[in-house]
Amino acid sequence: MHDPSLRQLRTFLFVVQTGGVTTAAQALGLTQPAASQQLRELERAMGVRLLERVSGRSVPTAAGRALIEPARRAQAAVEDARAVAAAHRSGEAGRVRLGTGATACIHLLPPVLAELNERMPGLEVIIATGNTPDILRRVEEGDLDAALVTLPAALGRSLTATRVATDPLVALLPEAMAPSGRPSLTAADLERLPLILYETGANTRAIIDAWFRRAGLAPRPIMELGSVEAIKVLVAGGRGCSVLPALALGGDVAGAVVRPLRPALARQLAVVLRKEKVVDRGLGRLRAALKGAGGQPG
């Protein structure tokens, strides 16, 4: 027994509704024999008579009446499928699964997501957090659509990164420690102060270490922490000073002052996705919003 086709069920429903094969046929935009053949084929596939011709009208049999409801359900389901696809095609709907590698990225996302929600309300954004290698692996496997990480990152050959933002690193000092008359601080300046830095191994910490290294110095932090919030609290409490991404500060920190570095230091934020990834509208919008939110893509 063959499966009934959607078209056959549709024609059947139209016949039941209009009460005639001819009317149903022209409502469906095809000729009467075509509709007749579909009905015959449907009856053959189901092994049951579905329609009776009675006094000029076509009336469903018992089996036909029983078939109406599931046939309607099938039609509705396919219609839903089409609607869903249309929503995705037009960009009204969509889903983007984004992984963020560093915790600092969390400070960048909220305004981005707010803007995204405003410009594309139907887009569903799923944020997954984790360490950078894990996030990148999930992107490679297709479990995530994109990742927002700080460069440099160990990208596989199947991944590609596009810079979306430059996040300057700045010095954060307690008001008491801030050298007066100096708008910006050098590595030598900081090296003389008690430092509270990111934990070793984090990407941002590696960038900071390289900056010190370029000045021929090596930072000797009195504390290393994995949480930027904890560092901020400690600096505000006068325990030491730190070098933090400007984005992570989110504005002023009470009891602490922000000073730029000299030479300027910044980390690169990039969106990483698979090379073959087709950028649909939702992903494109997310990437655009990230680009716009994070300063110059440098």
Site residues for a second copy per CB under 8 A: 1, 3-7, 9, 46-49, 52-55, 57, 59, 61-63, 65-67, 70-71, 73-74, 76-78, 80-82, 84-89, 93-96, 124, 140-142, 145, 158, 274, 276-278, 280, 282
Q: What is the 3-state secondary structure of the chain?
A: CCCCCHHHHHHHHHHHHHCCHHHHHHHHCCCHHHHHHHHHHHHHHHCCCCEEEECCEEEECHHHHHHHHHHHHHHHHHHHHHHHHHHHHHCCCEEEEEEECCCCHHHHHHHHHHHHHHHCCCEEEEEEECCHHHHHHHHHCCCCCEEEEEECCCCCCCEEEEEEEEEEEEEEEECCCCCCCCCCECHHHHHCCCEEEECCCCHHHHHHHHHHHHCCCCCCCCEEECCHHHHHHHHHCCCCEEEEEHHHHCCCCCCEEEEEEEEEEEEEEEEEEECCCCCCHHHHHHHHHHHHHCCCCC
Q: Which does 264 bind (CB under 5 to 8 A by kind): DNA, a second copy, none?
A: none
Interface pattern 128-157 for DNA (x via CB under 7 A) = -----------------------------x
Taking the complex as a whole, how short is the minimal distance between the CB of residue 75 and a second copy, in angstroms?
Answer: 8
Site for DNA in 255-284 (CB under 7 A): 275-276
Find the shortest distance in angstroms from Cβ 10 to DNA. Answer: 10
Min dist. Cβ of residue 149 to a second copy (A) = 19
User: CB under 7 A: which stretch of 54-62, 179-187, 246-254, 260-268 binds DNA?
Assistant: 54-62
- Binds DNA by CB under 7 A, chosen from 41, 134, 224, 280: 41
Residues that bind DNA (CB under 7 A): 2, 5, 7, 20-23, 29-34, 36-41, 51, 53, 55-58, 157-158, 275-276
